[in-house]
Amino acid sequence: MKTILCFGDSNTWGWSPSTQQRFPRHIRWTGVLQYQLGNAYHVIEEGLCGRTTLRTDLFERYTNGKEYLIPCLSSHKPIDLVIIMLGTNDLKHRFAASALNIAKSAGVLVRIVQRSKTGSNGTSPKVLLIAPPPIRELADYSKMFRGAETKSKEFGRLYEAVAQSYKCAFLDAAKYITSSNIDGIHLEANEHLKLGEKVACVVKDMLPHELTTE
């Protein structure tokens, strides 16, 4: 069995923009991923609302992704693949971070995984870096994320460059899904479905089924 760790924010946790509660697991993209892959794979959900790449939020000090990544990897090892989809919360106006800086911050997390030796037999897990889809400055989030919509549209290009630099797999989510028209940040159920199905295709190429039988 292959172990896949999904390290992300509220869109990995499964926040529903309409109900402001958590989608059931079978609706969340990670649950869709598990269903598509089957029992030869074990998908671990590590989504946290508000999680950043490496920024410490004075209002939510526990959301720094870099600080939690090594403990998370160590807790779940051995891991075959780590999927990272972070950066949306780094767009908050109070961080004053550029799109390039956020992409590089995601690269720091990639490098941590690649140096972690938390794969099988002391190897390092493979990494799939996902560029989050662009956000929209709507509703209650418009003030918190003011100026972020333009930055988020640069994620695909910049994250791809980071992935190439670290020689890891890459997926531009913007090519397959869009953020909700309700809050401009989170994913609707149908977008979770599309993302989960697409990620499953990528994972099957990275971790072929015939290599997972015991």
State pLDDT tens for residues 2-61.
Answer: 999 999 999 999 999 999 999 999 999 999 999 999 999 999 999 999 999 999 998 888
Q: What is the pLDDT of residue 142?
A: 82
What total of structural domains would you count in the chain? Answer: 1
According to the model, what pLDDT value does residue 214 have?
Answer: 39
Residue 45 lies in domain: 2-211
Position 143 scores a pLDDT of: 84
- pLDDT at residue number 155: 98
Q: According to the model, what pLDDT value does residue 212 have?
A: 39
Domain containing 119 — which CATH number?
3.40.50.1110
What is the average pLDDT value for the chain, to the nearest integer? 95
Please tell me the predicted confidence (pLDDT) of residue 210.
53
**Three-class SS string for the chain?**
CEEEEEEECHHHHCECCCCCCECCCCCCHHHHHHHHHCCCEEEEEEECCCCECCCCCCCCHHHEHHHHHHHHHHHHCCCCEEEEECCCHHHCHHHCCCHHHHHHHHHHHHHHHHCCCCCHHHCCCEEEEEECCCCCCCHHHCCCCCCHHHHHCCHHHHHHHHHHHHCCEEEEHHHCCCCCCCCCCCCCHHHHHHHHHHHHHHHHHHCCHHHCCC
What pLDDT was estimated at residue 140? Answer: 78
| pLDDT beneath 70: ranges in the chain | 210-214
